[in-house]
C-alpha cells in the first residue's frame, strides 16, 4: 500500500515536470523491449548471465569466430523479427510527435521505429543493418537486410564475397560522431528520462549526468537499482510498459 502510494506520488511528480518542460529527452535501453519478448543483457534474466559479451560483440570475437558471432545475431534477428512494440514503445512514439522531445536509444531492435517514433537517435546502430567486413567500396556503408535466418552462416557481402558484419556498435568501437553530438545536444533539456537501461555502457550512460549538470530534472524508470539510481532526482522502481502508460494517462 505504502509502495503504491509512493509510486502514485512519483508519477504525479513526473507528469508535473513533463507538463512544465519545454524540452525533454528520453534515453532507452534493452528493458524497454523486455515486454516484447526480447532478452536484456544485464538484467535479472539477462543474456550475459550465460555468455561473455566480448566474445560475441567485438571485433576480436568476430575475427576469432565469425560463424559463432553470426549464429548469435541470426538467432536474435529471428527473435526480434517476430516481436511487436509494447505500450512503452507506443507511449514514447506518441511523445516524439510533440515539439521539443528527443528520443535516444541504445537498442538495436528497431521496435521504436516499428511503433512509429520520429527523430530517433540510434546510438548503437541497428541489428537490421549489415556492412562489408573488409570493407569493399560498395559495402563500406550500412544497408538494410531483413533476411532472418540467413541460409548460410556467416553471410557474405553481395558486392565482393567477403564476410558481412552486423551494423551494430560493438564493444571497443566508436559511436557515430553525429549521433553522439545529437544526443549530447539533447542533454540540454528541462527533463531527462533514463528508461530500462543498466547504465553501464558509456558514453550512453553518461548522458543522464550531463543533463543533470545542465540543470535538468532527471528521472529513471527501471524495476531494478542501477548505476544511475543514486544520481537521478526521481527513481521509479517499475516496468517501463506500466510506468510510461501511467504517466501518459495523467498528462
Active centre residues (catalytic):
124
How many CB atoms lie under 10 A from the CB of residue 54? 13
Window contacting ligand NAD (CB under 6 A); options: 18-26, 114-122, 155-163, 219-227: 219-227
Give min distance, CB of 231 to ligand NAD, in A. 14
Half-sphere exposure of 16 (CA within 13 A, CB side): 8
- Contact (Cβ atoms closer than 8 angstroms) between residue 41 and residue 53: yes
Give min distance, CB of 137 to ligand NAD, in A. 28
Q: Does 197 bind ligand NAD (CB under 6 A)?
A: yes
Q: Does 222 bind ligand NAD (CB under 6 A)?
A: yes
| Interface residue with ligand NAD, options 14, 18, 24, 41 (CB under 6 A) | 41
Nearer to ligand NAD, 86 or 217 (CB): 86
66's CB contacts (< 8 A; 6+ apart) are 133, 154, 163, 165
141's CB contacts (< 8 A; 6+ apart) are 131
Smallest CA-to-CA distance from 146 within 109, 188, 176, 94 is with 109
Q: How many residues bind ligand NAD (CB under 6 A)?
A: 29
Binding at 247: pick from Zn ion, ligand NAD, none (beta carbon under 5-8 Å per type) = none
- List residues near Zn ion by CB under 5 A: 132, 136, 139, 157, 159-160, 162
Residues 123-162 close enough to bind ligand NAD by CB under 6 A? 124
Nearer to ligand NAD, 212 or 237 (CB): 237
Residue 68 is given by DSSP the state H
Q: How far apart are CA 164 and CA 154, in angstroms?
A: 7
Q: How far apart are CA 95 and CA 246, in angstroms?
A: 14
| Interface residue with ligand NAD, options 139, 183, 226, 246 (CB under 6 A) | 226
Q: Does 201 bind ligand NAD (CB under 6 A)?
A: yes
Give min distance, CB of 42 to ligand NAD, in A. 3
Give min distance, CB of 78 to ligand NAD, in A. 14
Q: How far apart are CA 128 and CA 117, in angstroms?
A: 17
- Contact (Cβ atoms closer than 8 angstroms) between residue 216 and residue 194: no
- Which residues are registered as beta bridge partners of 193? 26, 219
Binding at 46: pick from Zn ion, ligand NAD, none (beta carbon under 5-8 Å per type) = ligand NAD
Window contacting ligand NAD (CB under 6 A); options: 113-121, 185-193, 227-235, 237-245: 237-245
Phi first, then psi, for residue 202 (nearest 5°) are -95, 155
Binding at 106: pick from Zn ion, ligand NAD, none (beta carbon under 5-8 Å per type) = ligand NAD
Amino acid at each position: 500500500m505504502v509502495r503504491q502510494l509512493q509510486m502514485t506520488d512519483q508519477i504525479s511528480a513526473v507528469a508535473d515536470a513533463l507538463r512544465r518542460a519545454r524540452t525533454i529527452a528520453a534515453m532507452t535501453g534493452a528493458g524497454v523491449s523486455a515486454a516484447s519478448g526480447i532478452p536484456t543483457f544485464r538484467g535479472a534474466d539477462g543474456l550475459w548471465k550465460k555468455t561473455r559479451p566480448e566474445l560475441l560483440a567485438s571485433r576480436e570475437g568476430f575475427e576469432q569466430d565469425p560463424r559463432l558471432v553470426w549464429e548469435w545475431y541470426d538467432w536474435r534477428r529471428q527473435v526480434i523479427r517476430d516481436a511487436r512494440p509494447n505500450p512503452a514503445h507506443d507511449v514514447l512514439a506518441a511523445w516524439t510527435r510533440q515539439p521539443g522531445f528527443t528520443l535516444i536509444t541504445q537498442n538495436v531492435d528497431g521496435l521504436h521505429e516499428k511503433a512509429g517514433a520520429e527523430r530517433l537517435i540510434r546510438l548503437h546502430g541497428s541489428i537490421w543493418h549489415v556492412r562489408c567486413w573488409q570493407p569493399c567500396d560498395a559495402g563500406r556503408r550500412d544497408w538494410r537486410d531483413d533476411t532472418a535466418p540467413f541460409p548460410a552462416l556467416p553471410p557474405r557481402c553481395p558486392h565482393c564475397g567477403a564476410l558481412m558484419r552486423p551494423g551494430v556498435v560493438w564493444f571497443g568501437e566508436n559511436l557515430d560522431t553525429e549521433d553522439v553530438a545529437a544526443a549530447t545536444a539533447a542533454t540540454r533539456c528541462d527533463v531527462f528520462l533514463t528508461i530500462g537501461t543498466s547504465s553501464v555502457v558509456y558514453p550512453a550512460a553518461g548522458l543522464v549526468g550531463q543533463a543533470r549538470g545542465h540543470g535538468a530534472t532527471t528521472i529513471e524508470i527501471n524495476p531494478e537499482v542501477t548505476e544511475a539510481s543514486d544520481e537521478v532526482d526521481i527513481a521509479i522502481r517499475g516496468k517501463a510498459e506500466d510506468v510510461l502508460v501511467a504517466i501518459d494517462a495523467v498528462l
